[in-house]
């Protein structure tokens, strides 16, 4: 199969490409405009897999360019895994139009091309944010979704709806929305990981960058939640486990085992972990002490969310390989790789 991965230079996209190249015979081609990633990622993918991936630097919000510069040039595409999107919750509150424009038009243009060029399979990167302040824990795929607090979250909920409605009109089409919980960690080699532009927002890159002196402070956002240690609970899931779920999802779509041509899956570990427990796991694997501060709650944060992942483990036959300590040690290995490149003023490989 020939698979288009959008956002192939991004955090989850690059790990998914590595998994596809390592474990299948599929051909992969990427579209990434490097708005929050780096072309060097493809060098890292090559160093890990020994394979070169072709990337098109195209903005998905331009339908004309996408059609002319990608689909007409590349020929038939069997499946699309659509990662490319903006994902900073706080930024989406201050720049809502940018988020709606980018995330929704990117998806719509890909679906228009899927129609025109007869693409059969589609996997959409969704998020546990669609459950909002969930009514039950752990959340299953049947737990009602809620109006998300942030425009980012709204683009995921609406994106799922657009895909579900589109699937009703194209019956030879097979589509899935994968609801990621909190992807963390790095490739086991420590040679590929998360590297957002600017100061990170997500907990794990903040921790590893703080431990390396790249960011000045580490603030725990709230210790007055009604949880076992007062900090918020999330479901941290190793990025390589998330990546592998995409390979299994492609197999699942191809096997036609699904009763309907659109479905959703939770991709989480099934374990709720507090912020303090994440910091402890990092301290344990790194041998360092984190001099963090406790601040107020972050606006828009929910107290607790973790997944019931039994649908994915049963239907996709997804077996998790890594736990929180492996996630933290691989993230730290990747950070040390970044530190070494910075110290020696070398191009990062």
Residue 20 touching ligand UD1 (CB under 6 A):
no
CA distance 4 to 16: 11
Whether 89 and 201 have beta carbons less than 8 Å apart is answered as: yes
For 321, other C-beta atoms within 10 Å of its C-beta total 11
CA distance 98 to 111: 20
CB of 121 to ligand UD1, least distance (A): 23
Which range in 13-21, 56-64, 121-129, 164-172 contacts ligand UD1 by CB under 6 A? Answer: 121-129
Q: Which is nearer to ligand UD1, 275 or 281 (CB)?
A: 275
Q: Which is nearer to ligand UD1, 149 or 263 (CB)?
A: 149
CB of 270 to ligand UD1, least distance (A): 16
Q: Which is nearer to ligand UD1, 28 or 203 (CB)?
A: 203
Catalytic residue list contains 262: no
Q: Which is nearer to ligand UD1, 127 or 155 (CB)?
A: 127
Q: Which of residues 122-161 bind ligand UD1 (CB under 6 A)?
A: 127-129
Which residue matches tokens 């659509």? 82
Exactly one of 56, 152, 154, 262 is catalytic; name it.
152
Size of the site for ligand UD1 (CB under 6 A): 22
Identify which of 123, 125, 120, 234 has the alpha carbon closest to the alpha carbon of residue 173.
Answer: 120
**Cβ neighbours for 1, distance < 8 A, ≥ 6 positions apart:** 24, 26, 27, 78, 79, 250, 254
Helices of type H across 195-264? 203-211, 239-255
CA distance 116 to 150: 32
Q: Report cis status (omega within 30 of 0) of the bond before 138.
A: yes
Residue of 301, 326, 339, 341 that binds ligand UD1 (CB under 6 A): 301
Give the per-residue contact string, 185-224, with ligand UD1 (x = CB under 6 A; - = no): ----------------xxx--x------------xxx---
For 213, other C-beta atoms within 10 Å of its C-beta total 8
Residue 238 touching ligand UD1 (CB under 6 A):
no
Task: Supply the DSSP symbol for 321.
Answer: -
Q: Which is nearer to ligand UD1, 75 or 213 (CB)?
A: 213
Active site positions, annotated: 152
Residues that bind ligand UD1 (CB under 6 A): 87-89, 127-129, 180, 182, 201-203, 206, 219-221, 232, 234, 275, 298, 301-302, 305
């Amino acid at each position: 199969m020939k698979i288009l991965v959008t956002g192939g230079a991004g955090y989850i996209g690059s790990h998914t490409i590595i998994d596809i190249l390592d474990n299948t015979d599929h051909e992969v081609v990427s579209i990434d405009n490097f708005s929050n990633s780096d072309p060097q990622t493809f060098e890292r993918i090559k160093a890990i897999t020994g394979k070169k991936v072709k990337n098109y630097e195209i903005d998905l919000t331009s339908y004309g360019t996408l059609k002319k510069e990608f689909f007409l040039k590349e020929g038939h595409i069997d499946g699309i895994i659509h990662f490319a999107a903006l994902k900073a919750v706080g930024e989406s509150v201050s720049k809502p139009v940018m988020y709606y424009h980018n995330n929704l038009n990117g998806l719509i243009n890909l679906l228009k091309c899927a129609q025109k060029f007869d693409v059969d399979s589609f996997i959409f990167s969704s998020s546990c944010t669609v459950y909002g302040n969930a009514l039950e824990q752990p959340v299953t795929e049947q737990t009602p979704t809620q109006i998300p607090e942030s425009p980012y979250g709204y683009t995921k909920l609406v994106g799922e709806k657009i895909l579900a409605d589109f699937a009703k009109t194209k019956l030879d089409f097979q589509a899935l929305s994968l609801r990621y919980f909190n992807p963390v960690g790095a490739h086991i080699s420590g040679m590929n990981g998360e590297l957002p532009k600017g100061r990170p927002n997500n907990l794990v890159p903040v921790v590893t960058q703080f431990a390396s002196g790249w960011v000045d402070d580490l603030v725990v956002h709230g210790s007055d939640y009604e949880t076992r240690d007062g900090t918020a609970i999330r479901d941290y899931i190793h990025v390589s486990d998330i990546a592998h779920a995409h390979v299994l999802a492609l197999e699942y779509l191809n096997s036609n085992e699904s009763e309907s041509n659109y479905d959703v899956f939770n991709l989480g570990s099934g374990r709720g972990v507090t912020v303090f427990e994440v910091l402890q796991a990092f301290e344990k694997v790194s041998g360092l002490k984190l001099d963090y501060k406790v601040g107020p709650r972050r606006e828009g944060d929910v107290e607790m969310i973790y997944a019931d992942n039994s649908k994915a483990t049963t239907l996709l036959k997804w077996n998790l390989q890594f736990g929180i300590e492996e996630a933290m040690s691989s993230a730290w290995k990747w950070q040390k790789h970044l530190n070494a490149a910075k110290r020696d003023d070398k191009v990062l490989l």
